Structure 1
């Protein structure tokens, strides 16, 4: 039976995807033949064998977190240049591109974390080994920004990121475990009590406001953190005129919590 390279095979079987997407799919372990994952584009397979392409919607779970609020808040993405602070694997970046972003600055202190499919995408400006707090300007300036920062508070960071954008707008993931002040010695990194999450949220919003970063909307992330933390997404503005009543924000969050938890 005639054999051909797996890359040629999936190009023939899945013409709706670009060569780069298919090449990345192989390297990322998304191609299988007879139940066996194939990661080498040069691997030979029978010409008439059935190939399974296990394409994920986003390169990481972060894409689903951002997707919720992009739709919920009707955020302007198409044709915009956007900054992704703390891009990591690139879930937020992937979601933005699929929603029509013109380009994305993918900034992260880590190295070689960004998914290959994004690393090779000309619409992605890869800025590895870069702390967003050390970035003074971007040229051309992004319209607005998203942020998923690990191991640090949003406080001080939010106002800095806002200053890098034209619209002074930021969609930020708030991780309550990184906002806890003076945690107990037995704190295991998980904030389990919904009321404690609400209290932390209120504190963070107040302190961000003092720094000129005003939270105008907030929503629960549809996906929990890897350890089970309930994260939140903030719509943040650098314009004080857009400040919304804090009680209104907290009330809406409590209503969301009631769907799954008791506050």
Structure 2
């Protein structure tokens, strides 16, 4: 019998067979449904005794990370049908966006991330997924994808969308679309960012969105819509927004629902 010892909460949850992977365990803890002795586990790295009994309260997370809930909200709001779509997932990380897209019928997804080993095993072993790790999207060659894409989704950190959007033109089909998550703390100036990376000023949020819209139209993208994400950023707590774009080439062939005014979309803390 092993001697009791301390271990990370996400590791214990995984080894207790309550989560399919360490990544899923982290997501479940962050969603607030994991408890030990009646006390909610707040952090994946929290140290617990190996014999601790864990329990789940509330609905299990339906995707490998809470990012899937963000994208699900955008798909629903913009009435995007992902059935049969081929997708680039820029900043895939654990794979929340990709998991959401697969569950909504996407036929092929290229998961791109500068990191390594983050993508959930469920997705990594799915034949519809091609993993492009240790890959900077800005330097991605077309040959590594080898085809034009229906939809590009972007959930990137520590970089402005203005540095990523120009590259998308290389991969989109005529009339192809983009769902880009806008994270204000990576678009605002240093003097506009408060403690813990918060950007609470609505004027700054409005300006960031307007600047990204202007930048996008300069790249020959049409603004199909914008909305506030249904949940806030995991670490910063920032309000985040989606921009829904489409290449102007042959744009009449793809239907969409236009949504504007992101600051009046219902917001769930």
Deviation at 1:90, TM superposition (A): 0.4
Write the distance in 2 (CA, Å) between the matches of 1:260 and 1:185.
24
Matched, 1:148 2:155: yes
- Taking the aligned partners of 2:193 and 2:97, their CA distance within structure 1 comes to 32
Cα 1:159/1:121, change in 2 over 3 Å: same
Return closer, same or farther for 1:165/1:240 CA change in 2, 3 Å cut-off: closer
Tell me the SS of whatever aligns to 1:143. strand
Please state how far the C-alpha of 1:143 moved relative to its aligned partner. Answer: 1.6
Residue number in structure 2 paired with 1:17: none
Runs of 4+ residues over 6 Å off in structure 1: none
Conserved? CA contact 1:24–1:117, under 8 Å: no
Residue 97 of structure 1 corresponds to 102
Q: Which of 231, 234, 248 is 1:239 aligned to?
A: 248
Equivalent residue for 1:127?
132
- Bigger Rg over Cα: 1
SS at match of 1:177: helix
Distance 1:26 1:212, change over 3 A: closer
Residue number among 262, 265, 268 corresponding to 1:253 in the alignment? 262
Q: Does 1:139 align with 2:146?
A: yes
- Report the TM-score when normalising by structure 1: 0.71
Partner of 1:209: 217
Contiguous gaps of at least 5 residues in structure 2: 1-16, 29-35, 38-54, 252-257
Q: Could you tell me how far 1:158 is from its partner in structure 2?
A: 1.4
Cα drift, residue 260 of structure 1: 7.9
**More moved, 223-232 vs 133-142:** 133-142
SS of residue in 2 equivalent to 1:237 = strand
Query: What corresponds to 1:162 in structure 2?
Result: 169
SS in 1 for 2:204: helix
Note if 1:220 corresponds to 2:228.
Answer: yes
C-alpha change, 1:24 and 1:154, in structure 2 (3 Å) is: same
- Report which stretch shifted further, 163-172 or 103-112: 163-172
C-alpha separation between the residues in 2 aligned to 1:217 and 1:95?
A: 20
Q: What 5-or-longer segments of structure 1 have no aligned partner? A: 1-21, 37-50, 243-247
Of 170, 173, 177, which aligns to 2:181?
Answer: 173
Asked if 2 retains the 8 angstrom alpha-carbon contact of 1:86 and 1:147, the reply is yes
Superposed CA deviations along residues 179-199 of structure 1, whole A, max 9, x for unmatched, are 113x22974321012232112
Aligned twin of 1:46: none
The corresponding residue for 1:45 is none
Matching residue of 1:25: 20
Pairwise mapping of residues 68-83 of structure 1 onto structure 2 (< 5 A)?
68-83=73-88
Give me the whole-angstrom Cα distance separating, in 2, the residues matched to 1:204 and 1:212: 13
Aligned residues: CA RMSD: 3.1
Pick aligned residue for 1:57 from 56, 62, 75: 62
Q: Which residue of 1 aligns with 2:71?
A: 66
Deviation at 1:139?
1.7
